[in-house]
Amino acid sequence: MAQYAILIYAHDSAHRPDATPEDTATSDAHAEELTSSGALVMAYALTPRDMATSIRADAITDGPFIDSKEVIAGFYVIEAPDLDAAIAIARTNPVVRDGGGVEIRPVHGGGFVQRDSGPGRADG
Amino acid sequence: MTEVEAALADAHRREWARVLAATARVARDLDLAEECVQDAYASAMTAWDRSGVPDNPGAWLTTAAKRRAIDAIRRDAALRSRLPLLVVDDEEEPVHPEGRDVEKLSEAVPDERLRLIFVCCHPALAQEAQAALTLRLVCGLPVPDIARAFLVTEPTMAARITRAKKKIATARIPYRVPRPADLPERLRAVLAVIHLLFTTGHTAPSGAALVRADLVDRAVHLARMLCDLMPGDAEARGLLALLLVTDARRATRVDADGRLLRLKDQDRSRWDRAALAEADAMIVSSLRAAPPGRYVLQAAIASLYAEAPAYDQTDWPQLVALYDRLLQVWPSPVVALNRAVPLSMVAGPEAALAEVERLEGDERLSGYQYLPAIKADLLSRLGRPAEAAAAYRQAFDLAANEAERAFLDRMARAGSLF
């Protein structure tokens, strides 16, 4: 088995700070599907592009790093035996049929960092 | 050439893909597999010299290459544990121990070339990498020849192939024939690459001979294999038909001295009628399976050219119509350029020349020798010999095949006599 990161490219993220369960129903359903299949290792939904801040050399700018029609709306890591299996899983993402797409990247290494407060939000 | 050398050359042409495909599954590393296969061929020279050419050279080479792979795996077990290996399925053939009868082994070795082809033509690889990898791994073509075929430098091509192999291992592109649901999509990539192999063989990118029969034959063989695998696929049939029609003219493309003959000067009575008939039957059945795709239409065009009893009796308007349909499914500048030929017979050379001149602005055709060659023919028909000679010269400078160069040189000289 190998791990693949799936980067979700969409016009924007549906996960606004004030998003209702209806707004995120499609991606929630997909996340549930992947979870119950046992393929999902971890997943993050990101806030919309308006919330992004980019840093290049000395400059801090508003918005995503790459100025493009699509933005990374979220990412998740799946476990799959090979690329064909990863493709089969990744192409079921609803964004693929909704004008966006996904990028599959084999994971080299990584994972959660052991901390005293445990994994998760750094709320302090 | 000694008997052993001839047998080796023959085995390289016929068996390379089969030997490499079988070895790759054992080696689980394409570089290691290539190395082992090359070693096996090298060792065959001495061994066959000593004890004669084996009855089944392919099986001999496969056994030798696999043994080398197994030795290398044992030797570098520690190193390999840190490298990403080729993903192969579990139900694989067990590694045969020594002492197994070579003839028996050959029967046990399934034809794994298809597996090799599908891994080479995986859509996760750039198409130019797919083609290069297929030429290298399936056809055993040396890197300099591949570089020449794709008009890039040798280091560029070597880097491209290395990068592709690295991606196969790292991203875990599996070494298997895709499942039925994925086959149509995966087949398209394979068809494109086989077609490219054929064109490369049909007019070899460099060297003296116009046709590299080995590449052409292999492309036809691969196309046949795909037709068997997907009997319902019209495009696979279309590709095979296209290759058959094009290749049916092989014997007549050059004269007794190896000089290139134009379609209009070829002896149609020597065309391979059996191949043409086989292709025609496939085209007819594929055209019914609407809507026809790129290869079916290309085959129909080639077949229409071949059907005419004489060049002058070719059905030019029907050809223009077929090219128009082809442009719709495959808007390639090469198609637009080829359309200029029948167009010149329907609407006159002036109209065709205007079309060719429009295409001259297309960067994708900038290194394409057939553009100035077609232009030269049109100019010559328009009674503009000096310009025609210049265009032939331009085509000469772009062409790398010696037979083509000789033809273009003759045409350029003939034109400048006026």
DSSP A38-77: T-EEEEEEPPPGGG-EEEETTEEEES-SS--S-EEEEEEE
Q: What are phi and psi of A68, to 5 degrees?
A: -150, 165
Q: Distance (Å, rounded) from C-alpha A119 to C-alpha B63? A: 53
Q: Residue A85 domain-assigned?
A: yes
B174–A82: do the CB atoms touch at under 8 Å? yes
Contact B87/A81, CB-based, under 8 Å?
yes
- Using the Cβ of B89 and the Cβ atoms of chain A, whether some distance falls under 8 Å is answered with no
- A-facing residues of B in 278-297 (CB < 8 A) are none
- Looking at the complex, report in whole angstroms how far the Cα of residue B194 sits from the nearest Cα belonging to chain A: 22
- The shortest C-alpha distance from A90 to chain B (Å) reads 13
CATH of the domain at A11: 3.30.70.1060
B191 touches chain A (CB under 8 A): no
Distance CA B354, CA A79 (A): 57
Closest to B316 measured CA to CA, from B344, B277, B280: B344
Tokens of B49: 């010299």
- Residue B210, pLDDT score: 60
Q: How confident is the model at residue A120 (pLDDT cuts 50, 70, 90)?
A: low
pLDDT for the residue B80: 83
- For chain B, the three-class secondary structure string (H helix, E strand, C coil) is CCHHHHHHHHHHHHHHHHHHHHHHHHHCCHHHHHHHHHHHHHHHHHHHHHHCCCCCHHHHHHHHHHHHHHHHHHHCHHHHCCCCCCCCCCCCCCCCCCCCCHHHHHHHCCCCHHHHHHHHCCCCCCHHHHHHHHHHHHCCCCHHHHHHHCCCCHHHHHHHHHHHHHHHHHCCCCCCCCCHHHHHHHHHHHHHHHHHHHHHHHCCCCECCCCCHHHHHHHHHHHHHHHHHCCCCHHHHHHHHHHHHHHCCHHHCECCCCCECCHHHCCHHHCCHHHHHHHHHHHHHHHHCCCCCHHHHHHHHHHHHHHCCCHHHCCHHHHHHHHHHHHHHCCCHHHHHHHHHHHHHHCCHHHHHHHHHHHCCCHHHCCCCHHHHHHHHHHHHCCCHHHHHHHHHHHHHHCCEHHHHHHHHHHHHHHHCC
For residue A29, give both structure tokens: 């359903």
CA distance readout (Å), A10 to A17, A19, A27, A41, B97: 17, 16, 12, 22, 54
List of chain B residues whose C-beta atoms are within 8 Å of the C-beta of residue A2: 172
ipTM: 0.85
How many of the other CB atoms lie within 10 Å of CB of A82? 21
Residue A99: which of A34, A19, A9 has the closest Cα?
A9
User: Tens digit of pLDDT for each residue in B231-279?
Assistant: 778 999 999 999 999 999 988 888 877 778 888 889 999 999 999 999 9
Q: Do A106 and B171 touch (CB under 8 A)?
A: yes
The per-residue pLDDT for B100 is 47
Contact B172 A87 (CB under 8 A): no
Q: Which residues of B touch A84 (CB under 8 A)?
A: 173-174, 176, 178-179, 182
Q: Tokens 């990898």 identify what position?
A: B133
Given an 8 Å threshold on Cβ–Cβ distance, is B178 in contact with A84?
yes
Helix and strand tally (H, E) in chain A? Answer: 2, 6
Residue-level pLDDT at B128: 84
Counted across chains A and B, CB pairs separated by less than 8 A come out at 26
Q: For chain A, how many structural domains are there in total?
A: 1
User: Can you give the residue ranges of every domain in chain B?
Assistant: 1-87+94-103, 326-418
pLDDT at A111 over 90: no
Give how far B174 is from chain A: nearest CA, Å: 6
Residue A59 phi/psi, 5-degree rounding, is: -95, 135
Reading the block at residue A96, the tokens are 């693929």
Kindly state whether residue A124 falls inside one of the protein's structural domains. no
Query: pLDDT at position B107, please?
Result: 45
Would you state the pLDDT for residue B124?
Answer: 94
> How do strand A101-106 and strand A2-10 relate by DSSP bridges?
antiparallel
Angle at CA of residue B115, ends A83 and B127, nearest 5°: 65
| CA A102 to the chain's CA centroid | 9
A84–B170: do the CB atoms touch at under 8 Å? Answer: no
As a whole number of angstroms, the distance between CA A104 and CA A66 comes to: 18
In chain A, what's the furthest Cα-to-Cα distance?
A: 45
The distance of A38 to chain B (nearest Cα, Å) reads 20
Please report residues of B whose CB lies closer than 8 A to that of A106: 170-172
Q: Which two tokens stand for residue A98?
A: 């909704």
Encode pLDDT of B25-34 as tens digits: 999 999 999 9
B83 and chain A in contact, CB less than 8 A: no
- Nearest CA to CA, how far is A99 from chain B (Å)? 20
**Mutant choice from B172, B175, B186 vs A, greatest count of A C-beta within 10 A:** B172
For residue A3, which phi and psi values (nearest 5 degrees)?
-105, 140
User: Domain B326-418: which topology?
Assistant: 1.25.40
Q: Is the peptide bond preceding residue B94 cis, with omega within 30 degrees of 0?
A: no
Domain membership flag for residue A112: no
Note whether B230 and B286 are within 8 A (CB): no
Residue A88 structural domain: 2-106
Does A124 reach chain B within 8 Å, measured CB to CB?
Answer: no
Domain for residue A115, yes or no? Answer: no
CB contact under 8 A, A106 and B173: no
Which of B124, B172, B178 is facing A2, going by the closest CB pair? B172
Residues of chain B with pLDDT under 70: 90-111, 149-151, 204-212, 214, 229, 415-418
Q: Is A122 among the domain residues? A: no
- Is A118 inside any structural domain? no
Q: Is A106 in contact with B172 (Cβ distance < 8 A)? A: yes
Cβ <8 Å between A87 and B87: no
Residues of A in contact with B178 (CB under 8 A): 84
Class of the CATH domain delimited by B1-87+94-103? mainly alpha
Question: What's the whole-number mean pLDDT along residues A92-117?
Answer: 92
> Searching chain B, which residue's CA lies closest to the CA of residue A103?
B124
The pLDDT value given to residue B97: 46
Q: Which two tokens stand for residue B91?
A: 């139900």
